[in-house]
Amino acid sequence: MANLKEIRTRISSVEKTKQVTAAMKMVSAAKLKKAQDAIVQIRPYADKLQEILGNLSGSLSDSEDNIYGAERKADKVLLVAITSNKGLCGAFNSNVLKRVNELSRDVYSKQKAEGNFKVLAIGKQGFKDISKVHQVIVHHNELFDDMNFENTSSIASSIMEEYVAGKYDRVELVYNRFKNAGVQILTNEQFLPIVTNDSDADTAQSDYIFEPGKEAIIGELIPKSLKTQFFGAMLDSVASEHGARMTSMHKATDNASDLIQEMKLHYNQARQAAITNEILEIVSGANALSQ
């Protein structure tokens, strides 16, 4: 059993760690509230706009002007992996890396072998790990320093331009979708080409009268909807990050409390054993002198 000084030192160290994890939990909880409000506000708008976009793209499926919805063979693939700049958030970042690896192995193995499977990394944690395995064309770690619609729109616009130019045939987003503080849903969704609604239930909704015209709608509504979808994915990821970190730090704080209690028990046992030994030594010495 360790001596009393070593146990006291370890108890002090764990108590300091507990203070740090508790503070990080409070900070993440405060940031989560703001991020959750942002995603709750934009999600209904983004979902409705995505529904309109899917129906509209279905109506324009036969049009050569529908540059964002034309299906073509996925010979060149781009994955946008959205992670975080900071760690200590459980499996938040590792889950994204795992999904990217699964897609490259199970879905896009041919493109990977031909060198046509590329990744755009957002977040330092994802870039650090993904770049060891896959070809990362660019990373945008600075996005979290000042994340707003304008900054994310510039990235989305760049991806859309490269898709139209034929640099990529398919673009997918891989990120954590926010459900609540304790649950983040790992998601990979198709960004380009646009996913159309082909079900019978949507047939009536897909019959549009275009005003002012198809060209104006393609030029304004579809890019705006894609940028909103990209911004919504970023907000989802940020809210999920704070939720995951808050949960992780809560568990770490609880574990530190349990460890402190256990070490205090060991300390008291060691202290009691030391006192007992001292008493035995004194009694033994007294008996020796009396004899």
pLDDT on residue 206: 52
How many residues belong to the chain?
291
pLDDT on residue 31: 92
pLDDT on residue 290: 81
Residue 2 has pLDDT above 70, yes or no: no
Share of the chain above pLDDT 90, in %: 57
Residue 86 has pLDDT above 70, yes or no: yes
Q: How many CB atoms lie within 10 A of CB 101?
A: 14
pLDDT per position as a tens digit, 31-43? 999 999 998 889 8
pLDDT on residue 79: 96
Q: Measured between alpha carbons, how far is residue 245 from residues 14, 21, 122, 138, 147 in Å?
A: 19, 10, 18, 26, 19
pLDDT per position as a tens digit, 24-80? 999 999 999 999 999 888 988 888 887 777 666 666 655 566 788 777 889 999 999
pLDDT on residue 228: 92
Closest CA to 249 of 20, 16, 14, 15: 20
pLDDT (average), residues 227-253: 94
pLDDT on residue 171: 96
Cβ neighbors of 217 (< 8 A, separation 6 or more) are 56, 210
pLDDT on residue 236: 94
Q: What is the CATH number of domain 20-249?
A: 3.40.1380.10
Given strand 183-192, what is the order of strands in its sheet?
135-139, 117-122, 77-82, 170-180, 183-192
pLDDT on residue 252: 94
Q: How many CB atoms lie within 10 A of CB 75?
A: 12
Q: Which residues on adjacent β-strands are paired with residue 119?
A: 79, 136
Per the CB < 8 A criterion, the answer to whether 143 and 152 are in contact is yes
pLDDT (average), residues 115-120: 95
More confident position, 201 or 214: 214
pLDDT per position as a tens digit, 155-209? 999 999 999 999 999 999 999 999 988 899 999 999 998 876 655 444 444 566 7
pLDDT on residue 208: 65
How far, in Å, CA of 39 to CA of 81, rounded? 19
pLDDT on residue 202: 46
Structure tokens at 191: 């960004």
How far, in Å, CA of 97 to CA of 134, rounded? 10
pLDDT on residue 270: 86
**Hey, where are the domains in the chain?**
20-249
pLDDT on residue 197: 60
How far, in Å, CA of 177 to CA of 184, rounded? 6
pLDDT on residue 289: 81
**Would you give the DSSP letter of residue 197?**
-
More confident position, 289 or 96: 96
